[in-house]
Chains A and B, each alone.
Chain A
Amino acid sequence: AQSVAQPEDQVNVAEGNPLTVKCTYSVSGNPYLFWYVQYPNRGLQFLLKYITGDNLVKGSYGFEAEFNKSQTSFHLKKPSALVSDSALYFCAVRSASGGSYIPTFGRGTSLIVHP
């Protein structure tokens, strides 16, 4: 079975400071990993994904995520937070080597960026 843990329900950061939203996963074989963002009253928007290759993945809106196989983590980062980054962030995982092609989503982390 595959699973995702987002240990923080909420992350608070001041505008201009770096931000990190944590995600750890469990999956059989190699993972495909995803981050999505959900703004209020909107659907999920795809931010970035890790499939293979470089462990540091760059995505939309200046976000990046680092795949760490030994720690089974895929933390989302941004060097300088904006107030407009305030939203709900979801990490997702699926197996790259068979099994379910449907990703499992974490419970979400609410990011609040203070002016």
Chain B
Amino acid sequence: SAVISQKPSRDICQRGTSLTIQCQVDSQVTMMFWYRQQPGQSLTLIATANQGSEATYESGFVIDKFPISRPNLTFSTLTVSNMSPEDSSIYLCSVEGGLAGAGDTQYFGPGTRLTVL
């Protein structure tokens, strides 16, 4: 299994500002995912980030709002731009398998708890 760390673990931000969340994995992985988990709700996939290509966004999420970087096989960032209180949520980084991308289990980071005032 992969060990995943996220920074920051939590933050309180002002409306209109941006926050960049970092995700670091202890092994090389092909596929990384960013999820949002709003209070009392399930996980919603924001985007899939593969190294060397642009992120693929799910319906309802756009690059201007949630730009993602994937500079190498162990690291990714998600930026929440021009934040509003509706962006208050837990943001989770996840990886699947290893380099082959054919693994079938997703592993999750500890999450970043964001509160927007």
Q: Which residues in A have some Cβ–Cβ distance to B below 8 Å?
A: 32, 34, 36, 41-46, 49, 51, 90, 92, 94, 101-103, 105-108
Which residues of B49-108 have CB atoms within 8 Å of chain A's CB atoms? 92, 94, 96, 104-108
**Smallest CB–CB gap between A114 and chain B, Å?**
21
Question: Which residues from A are CB-within-8-Å of B109?
Answer: 43
Q: Give Cα A32 to B33, complex, Å.
A: 18
* A42 contacts B42, C-beta separation under 8 Å: no
Question: Which residues from B are CB-within-8-Å of A90?
Answer: 42-43
* A102 contacts B113, C-beta separation under 8 Å: no
Q: With A105-B43, A107-B42, A108-B42 in contact, do A43 and B105 touch (Cβ < 8 Å)?
A: no
Question: Which residues from A are CB-within-8-Å of B48?
Answer: 102
* A49 contacts B108, C-beta separation under 8 Å: no
Contact mask B12-46 → A, CB, 8 Å, 1/0?
00000000000000000000010000000111010
Question: Which residues from B are CB-within-8-Å of A32?
Answer: 104
* A43 contacts B42, C-beta separation under 8 Å: no
Question: Which residues from A are CB-within-8-Å of B41?
Answer: 107-108
Q: Which residue from chain A places its CB closest to the CB of B33 in the assembled complex? A: A102
* A44 contacts B92, C-beta separation under 8 Å: yes
Q: Give Cα A44 to B92, complex, Å.
A: 9
**Smallest CB–CB gap between B8 and chain A, Å?**
13
* B104 contacts A43, C-beta separation under 8 Å: no
* B110 contacts A46, C-beta separation under 8 Å: no
Question: Which residues from B are CB-within-8-Å of A42?
Answer: 110-111
Q: Give Cα A36 to B94, complex, Å.
A: 13
Question: Which residues from A are CB-within-8-Å of B94?
Answer: 44
* B108 contacts A34, C-beta separation under 8 Å: no
Q: Which residue from chain A places its CB closest to the CB of B110 in the assembled complex? A: A43
What are the nearest 3 A-B pairs in CB distance?
A43-B108, A44-B108, A107-B42
**Smallest CB–CB gap between B14 and chain A, Å?**
23
Q: Which residue from chain B places its CB closest to the CB of A102 in the assembled complex? A: B45
**Smallest CB–CB gap between A44 and chain B, Å?**
4
Question: Which residues from A are CB-within-8-Å of B6?
Answer: 43
